[in-house]
Amino acid sequence: MSSRSSSRSLDTRALLLRRVEYGESDLVLALFTEKLGRVSALARGARRSAKRFGGSLEAMHTLSVRCDDREHTELLVLRESQIVIPRSSLVSDLERMLTAGRALAWVRRAAPPRTPEPEVWETLEKLLDRLSDRTDSIPSAVHLAAAGLGLLAAFGWGLDFSQCVRCGKPCPAGSPAMLDATRGGLVCRACGGARLRVEAAVRARLAHAGAGVDALEASDAELALDLVDQAMRAHAGFE
C-alpha cells in the first residue's frame, strides 16, 4: 500500500500545548485539538523559516491546522497552520499568560492521546477568551480556579461537594465539611474524615464553580487551585 493511500488529511482547530526542537529545523508539537483531543505533530522546517506556517505556532491563540494522519504512527505531520482567534492582549500580559500556561499544562498532562474532549476544549477556549479580555477586572487566578474545577469535571474527576465520597451520606447545605481532593470530595467523620475543613459558603461556591457558574470569590482562588492541583496529581499521576 502506498504512503498516500495509508494516510488521511485532518482539518481541525487546535491549541498549542508545547513545542520541542527536533533535528536541525523541525518542531515536534503537542496540540490539543477540537476533533482528536491531544495529539503530537511534526512541523517540518518550522524553525528554518517563519513563513513556513505563517508565524502561527505560538501558544494562547486558537489555530486552524491541517495534518496528515498516517497509519501505524501516533505522530501527525503538520501541513498547514493559521491563527483563527488571535489573543495578542493575552500574550502581552505576563501574569495572564502564565495563568493560561498553567491550564494548558494541566491539559497536556491529563488529556489522554487521541481522545476527543469537547468539554475540555470548551473550558479552555472560554478561559483563554476571558484572560484576553482587557475589560475583565476579575483576577486571573479566579478564572483559572473556576476553569480548573471545570476541567476536573470534564475529565471525569469532578469533586463531590454534596455528599461523602465513601458512604454517600449527604452533607447538609449549611454545614461545613471535611474535604480530600485526592479521594474525590467530601469525607464524613464516620469514614475517617479529612484534614481540610471547608465552610458551608465556600463549599457552595466551589460546587457552583465546578458546574460552570461564575461563583468564586477572590478569596476562594488559592484554595480552589490547591484542590485542582491535588486532584490532578492523584488522577493523572504528575507532580
CATH architecture observed for domain 89-236: Up-down Bundle (1.20)
Cβ neighbours, 10 Å, residue 214: 12
Output the tens digit of pLDDT for each of the chain's 239 residues.
344 457 799 999 999 999 999 999 999 999 999 999 999 999 999 988 767 787 899 999 999 999 999 887 889 999 999 999 999 999 999 999 999 999 999 999 999 999 999 999 999 999 999 999 999 999 999 999 999 999 999 999 999 999 999 999 999 999 999 999 999 999 999 999 999 999 999 999 999 997 777 889 999 999 999 999 999 999 998 66
CA dihedral 10, 11, 13, 19 (to 10 degrees): 50
Task: Judge whether 112 and 37 are in contact, CB under 8 Å.
Answer: yes
Tell me which residue of 202, 231, 207 sits closest to 218, measured CA to CA. 202
The residue extents of the domains of the chain are 7-87, 89-236
Tell me which residue of 14, 11, 15, 13 sits closest to 69, measured CA to CA. 11
The pLDDT tens digits for 76-85 are 999 999 999 9
Residue type at 158 in one-letter notation: G
What grid cell was written down for 171? 452533607
Q: Which CATH class is domain 7-87?
A: mainly beta
Contacts of 35 (CB under 8 A, 6+ apart): 10, 12, 13, 116
Cβ neighbours, 10 Å, residue 154: 23
DSSP-derived secondary structure letter, 113? B
- Rounded to 5 degrees, what angle do the CA atoms 170, 176, 181 make? 75
CA atoms within 13 A on the CB side of 150: 26
Counting Cβ atoms within 10 Å, is residue 79 exposed (0-12), middle (13-18) or buried (19+)?
A: middle
The pLDDT tens digits for 105-140 are 999 999 999 999 999 999 999 999 999 999 999 999
Q: How distant, in Å, are the alpha carbons of 87, 131, 133, 173, 215 from that of 137?
A: 17, 10, 9, 30, 15
- pTM score, two decimals? 0.92
